[in-house]
Structure 1
Amino acid sequence: MLTMARRLQDLLDITRALDFLGPLALRLYLAPLFWMAGTKKFANI
């Protein structure tokens, strides 16, 4: 039982190291949309 808990903790430690990937992917996806919206606002001044 204790070894299973240690394995689970090791797995959680590995996934904690990759926590930044979700928000990074979302930012990379949304950046062009916000860029286009912003440049259109400046072009219509």
Structure 2
Amino acid sequence: MFILLVLSDSLPVIGLFISIVLLKSHQPKIHPRWVKWCVFISLLF
């Protein structure tokens, strides 16, 4: 239940980072740094 609350609270942040990654989708590959920051920020919230 706590995990669901954390996920629901971090949804806007995850959506923001997904949009940022989509804006940079012209690059051939998604940098692992982006994925690491997405996971890190989602864990913070």
TM range (shorter): 0.3 to 0.5
TM normalised by structure 1 equals 0.45
1 or 2 for the larger relative contact order (CA 8 Å, sep ≥6)?
A: 2
* Structure 2 length-normalised TM: 0.45
- Say which one has the larger Rg: 1
